[in-house]
Every structure is written in structure tokens, then in C-alpha cells.
Amino acid sequence: MAAKGALGGKVAIVTGGSRGIGRAMSLAFAAAGAQVVVASRTENEPPPDSPFLKYGSGTINETARRIAEAGGEALPVTCDVTKSEDLRRLADRTVKHFGRIDIVVSNAGVDCESPVVDLEEELFDRALAVNIRGPILLCKYVLPAMMEQKGGGSIFCITSGASQVYREGRVGYSMSKAALDRAYLSLAEEVREHDIAVNVLSPGRVDTWMNRNGDWPGTAHIPMEQPDSVGDAAVWLAAQKATTFTGNRVERAEFGITWGAGISAPAPRGEHRQN
């Protein structure tokens, strides 16, 4: 259980915050004392007869309401991460409403399920727009405020095991997540001098929209977790700065074992010095 007050006085942005892992992290951040900006395209509940209702239900307003009912403070903001203006407005509204930005989590993501020979270009382009272009542009728009505060901060993204191993029919998805991993690990070096931590969190196999059609090929042996299992690891990452923990790709299942409170952080990689 994350320490109550661990994020007191901090403001967090979570994309994809209407359901699943994004909602779980939003609730966990609020419980730890943060003011939370819940961002997603989802403003309206699907009709009761919608397929996959268990996974598709949830809105930014519902997440914000649950935070408020628990005594926290949240701001729901409609945001399509494929639209640059939405991302710019998300950063601006956060600063205008709460006065600062301390934590930014790029969680919004989409699948790209197709063998390459049958891959539809529109599907591929959307996966790249959501999974890599959106997170980078979000950093572009939040970093000026975070740097100006001169108090450090934490940025991290949600990745997938598919970024490192083969998943049948998901070359496009795997590529997008591998690119996201590399981009964030490089960004960690770019903003280290501002004491802003940048990390990559792999949540493992979680019971969310991505698994609505059943097990992905090659993943059935991995234990299925519920979204709230990510909470403690996410809160700990959100509390970090570059001086404490940055430039790491970590597994949620290893939190408290190979990384986390009381565990020595890896030595800086010095990636900027390599050819």
C-alpha cells in the first residue's frame, strides 16, 4: 500500500484515465495526496448492450467523481492524444487550474493487431499516433512548466512486454512500444539537469480492454492481474526525481524486489556519452 500523503502538494496528469490502468493510477495518486487531471477521449458511457462493456465502461467524469467521493480533487479534461492542440490545451488547463505540473503519465494506448502482410495503413498510423507521437508531444507541452518550477518532477509511460519480445500478429504494436521505451529512456538524459525523472513502467498482463478478446498468443502463462495492482508501483515512480530514480524500464511484478523503496537505484547509464 502506497504511503498516504506520499504525493501531497503535487499535481498529476494521467492520459487514458477513464478506465483500466489509467483509472487505477488516477485513484492511487489521489489517495496518496495528489491533485489529479484525468484525461481521455471518453466522456460518455457506452450503452448497456455494448460488447465488452466490462472493459469499455468508464469516463473521465466517473473517475473524477470517484476521486472526489474519496476526499480528493480531480479535474476531468477531454483529450485526444492524436491531436496536438488537445495536448497543448491539457497542459495549459492543468497549469491554469492547479498552478503547476509535477507528474505526467502517458498511459493512453491502442493495439495494432495484424500480420504485416495484411496491415491496414490507417490502423498502423493510428497506433503510431497514439502510442508514440502523443506521449512525445505531451512531454513537449508539459516540460516548459515543469522546468520553470525548478522543483523537479516525474514523467513515465506505460509500456508492454511486446516491446521486447515477439507477439504474434502485433509487429506494429511492438514497434510502437519499443520506440516509446527508447524515446523515454533518451528523454531521461535530456531533462536530467532539471531533476525530472523519466521512466518506463511495464505493468505485466492486466485485465483491461487490450485483453477483451482473450489471451494474446504467447501470454497465457503470465499471471493476469487487475488494474489496481499497478497502484503502488505507479505512486512510487510518481514521487521520484532524476536524483533518485531515472532512465529505467521497470516491471510492475518486480516492484519491491529489484526496484522501489529501500532498493538502491541503478547507476546512471551515461547514455549521452555513447556513440
- Catalytic amino acids? 173
**Residue 24, CA atoms < 13 Å, CB-side half-sphere:** 19
Strand partners of residue 104: 13, 155
Name the region of 78 (left: φ>0; alpha: ψ -120 to 50; beta: rest).
Answer: beta
Locate 80 and state its grid cell: 485526444
* Exposed / middle / buried, residue 3 (Cβ in 10 Å: 0-12, 13-18, 19+): middle
